[in-house]
Chain A
Amino acid sequence: DSGVTQTPKHLITATGQRVTLRCSPRSGDLSVYWYQQSLDQGLQFLIQYYNGEERAKGNILERFSAQQFPDLHSELNLSSLELGDSALYFCASSVFGAGDTQYFGPGTRLTVL
């Protein structure tokens, strides 16, 4: 158990819908990262927040957005969902940023029907 929690574990929804994934980092960690894992694209970095501020952006679609709240938990919002958005979404956290090992949560499996 890494200490990173994610809810929900599973999410099944329909195309066109909007969902919110939630992540609580390990106690004391200031950075939160979001990754997407799919069969065709592998593991891809989406976005990083550090202490409430966006720090780095990867291959995140415009339909996706994220934020980190004052209590350091983070939410990833996915809208206008498409079949291709079905994937495992991981949140990771680290103490600061550069140079710190990232610890991954259990993931949220999103299925878009």
Chain B
Amino acid sequence: ELKVEQNPLFLSMQEGKNYTIYCNYSATSDRLYWYRQDPGKSLESLFVLLSNGAVKQEGRLMASLDTKARLSTLHITAAVHDLSATYFCARTGAGNMLTFGGGTRLMVKP
């Protein structure tokens, strides 16, 4: 059974600080996705990581993939309140089905 585990599940940060969310998965995967979800809202695609060593950056968020360690990270630089949301990593399985991690709820405090 495919498993995707994220940690931490909850993260409270001060504005301006840096932090990393970790995503471990149980089997090899072609692709690793990061999504953002605001409370009661839909999921917004942030990054897709295609190969070992892939790194993508958008604003204060940077995602990376280490397929040998089966690990992806989402690094937050100089957090701002607008980044408060729940972040999910997901990998693809049979067909194109996504298996999601449990999510990391991020709260950025002024």
Contact = CB atoms under 8 A, between A and B. Distances in A.
Contact of B95 (A56, A106, A109): A56
B42 A105 contact: yes
B41 interface: yes
Contact of A90 (B42, B90, B94, B102): B42
B95 A43 contact: no
Given A2-B42, A42-B102, A98 B33 contact: no
Given A90-B42, A107-B42, A102 B98 contact: yes
A55 B95 contact: yes
A105 B35 CA distance: 13
Given A42-B102, A42-B103, A97 B43 contact: no
Interface residues of B, number: 24
A102 B31 CA distance: 12
A34 B88 CA distance: 17
Contact of A43 (B48, B93, B96, B100): B100
A103 B45 contact: yes
Contacts of B94: 56
Nearest to B99: A45
A100 interface: yes
Interface string A43-79: 1110010100001101000000000000000000000
A97 B96 contact: yes
A102 B99 CA distance: 12
Given A42-B100, A90-B43, A101 B95 contact: no
Given A43-B100, A103-B45, A97 B95 contact: yes
Given A42-B100, A42-B103, A98 B95 contact: yes
Contacts of A28: none
Interface of A: 2, 31, 33, 35, 42-45, 48, 50, 55-56, 58, 90, 92, 94, 97-107, 109
10 contacts: A2-B42, A42-B103, A45-B93, A55-B95, A90-B42, A92-B43, A99-B92, A100-B96, A104-B43, A104-B45
